[in-house]
Amino acid sequence: MAAPFLKWAGGKAKLVPTLAALLPPFERYLEPFLGGGAVFFGLEERGAVPRALLSDTNPYLIDAFLAVRDAVEEVIEALAPLAADFAARDEAGRRELYYAVREHYPVGPVATAAWLIFLNRTCYNGLFRVNAAGRFNVPYGRYKDPVILDAARLREASGALQRAELRCADFELVLAEARPGDFVYLDPPYQPLSATARFTNYTAGGFGPEDQERLARAFASLTERGIPAALSNSDHEAVRRLYDGRGYEIRIVPMSRAINSDGRGRSPVPELLVTNFRLVGVQPPAEAATAEAPAPTPRNSRKAAL
């Protein structure tokens, strides 16, 4: 059973049952903000993904996915000594190893996969964050016994990725290739809910309000071309202004926030799930009526939903 091989801030594993209940039939799955790939792996495990085009602007991430797809045994071989070295050290030694690995940038997909998986499993909260120069700058996470090498999970992920094309590209370029018969899922870096909740430094350029507007225009273009699509984002007024009143179905879905440094801030928070299914002539399957999925919320009902 394939599952994400990376922890990822904002991963959508818990959304998969809701989304799967609403899905129309499709021939190809497109996910232009791949991240940890939780939705892809969740739908693939259900047998719902005939083929896929997965993309992201993060080159380290795409190299890691390529290596896991095409050379998983080499990835396991490259990661094994790092995992063993980490396990053999005391806390001070583990910290030292973490920062040494963090500063040593890899060459080639296999080395990149081992580097990224090691950092992902040992850094603070599994975050991926870069500074303005594009350098990974997440501090050490101080986990007691992190699972750095999970060979079985890597092999399962490799199998799931065999029918997937992987690409490092901006979402607009990928969505321009979408065609009837595709289904698109969009999970962009979220609109921050507060001035301090900024987890959009996923690439050196970030993902700001202009990018959110570009994404809304791309979503409208998919709708005009008759391509079913779903989009997740934070329940923020700026996001609602981009999608409300355009005929889309907007659902509120409670999702946990595992990246908050304060455990008390990790309780479920409302997020938006925007779909265009009815506008493109797609009716949800009959089982969606009985699935445990939130009902669409009417316009201007945000306060009541909260």
Q: CA 79: distance to chain centroid?
A: 23
Element of type H or E holding 274: strand 269-275
Same domain assignment for residues 115 and 183: no
pLDDT for the residue numbered 190: 80
Tell me: the pLDDT tens digits for 47-105? 999 999 999 999 999 999 999 999 999 999 999 999 999 999 999 999 999 999 999 98
Looking at the fold, whether 79 and 209 belong to one and the same domain comes out as no
| Residue 1 covered by a domain | no
Model confidence, pTM? 0.86
State which of 154, 183, 203 marks the end of a domain.
154
> In the chain, which stretches have pLDDT less than 70?
191-206, 256-267, 284-306
If asked whether residues 29 and 82 sit together in one domain, one would say no
Phi first, then psi, for residue 55 (nearest 5°) are: -145, 165
Same-domain check for residues 95 and 226? no
Q: How far apart are CA 243 and CA 240, in angstroms?
A: 5
Asked, for residue 285, whether it belongs to a domain, the answer is: yes
Domain membership of residue 160 (yes or no) is no
One domain, residues 261 and 230 = yes
* DSSP string covering 167-210: EE--HHHHHTT--TTEEEEE-PSPPPSSTT----TTSTT---HH
In a domain, 3, yes or no: no
List the CATH number of the domain containing 194. 3.40.50.150
Question: Do both 227 and 207 map to the same domain?
Answer: yes
Give the closest residue to 44 by CA, choosing from 214, 144, 155, 163: 163
Residue 107: give the domain boundaries.
66-154
Burial of 273 (0-12, 13-18, 19+ CB in 10 A): buried
Q: How many domains does the chain have?
A: 2
Residue 53 sits in the same domain as residue 183? yes
